[in-house]
Each structure stands twice: as structure tokens, then as C-alpha cells.
Amino acid sequence: MRYLVTKEIKSDIQVVWTLYFQDLIFLFIWGIAGWNMQGIVYESMQIPFIIFTVVMGIILVLPSTTNPKRRQYQSIVLCLTQNKAVYYLIRKNKEQSDEKKQDKGYKRKYPGRKL
């Protein structure tokens, strides 16, 4: 008998394309904040302010390149709220290249031995 085990218990609600419900709520709050701040912006700068607010809202909802399974705004919040000694960026490509360099150096040191 074969047992089926669910791999994912929690899933996000997808509204449109890659826009999820949580992102929609963030954009709604972002829009309300931008609309409230529009009154303190100089009159001739209101259109560039609206364009900037929309573009920044879209950028903040995009997936983070440095933190998988997170959005840009979530990565920013983590970076600002966490202890600096604990939260730091780990790049996989650099680690792999360092390991390869170490392996090559080790093989050169001991050419007659098999690893």
C-alpha cells in the first residue's frame, strides 16, 4: 500500500498571475499611504510622485533575489529589524567557487594520494 504525504500544508492565495493576496494587501496599504502623503507634496511634483509611488510599489512586491521565498519588502523589513550580527547575505556561487579552489589546492599539495 502506498501512502500519500502532502508536501505543502500552507499555500498562498494567488489572485492574478504572480500577484498573491498578501501582495495585494501590501499594495493597497502602499497606495493609501501614497494617497495620504500626496497632500504634502508640491503641486507641480504630484505627477512624478504618483509615478514614483506606483513604480516603487511594483518593485517592492517583486521576489527578492537574495532571500528565496520572500518579497523585496519582506527582505527589507528583515534587514532593518534583525540583529546585524545574525542576518547577513550568503552567496552560493562564491561558496562553491571557494570550495573548488580549496579542492584544487589540496590536490596540488598531495598529488600522489587519492582522496
Summarize pLDDT for 88-111 with one digit per residue, the tens: 666 666 555 555 665 555 555 555
Tell me the three cell numbers of residue 38: 500626496
Summarize pLDDT for 3-24 with one digit per residue, the tens: 888 777 777 888 888 789 999 9
CA quadruple 43, 44, 47, 50: dihedral sign? negative
pTM: 0.64
Name the pairing type of β-strands 14-16 and 19-20: antiparallel
Given this model, what pLDDT does residue 43 score?
Answer: 94
Enumerate the domain spans of the chain.
14-109
| C-alpha to C-alpha distance for 62 and 97, rounded to whole angstroms | 28
Summarize pLDDT for 34-53 with one digit per residue, the tens: 999 999 999 999 999 999 99
DSSP β-bridge partners for residue 63:
71
Looking at this protein, which amino acid is placed at residue 101? Answer: K
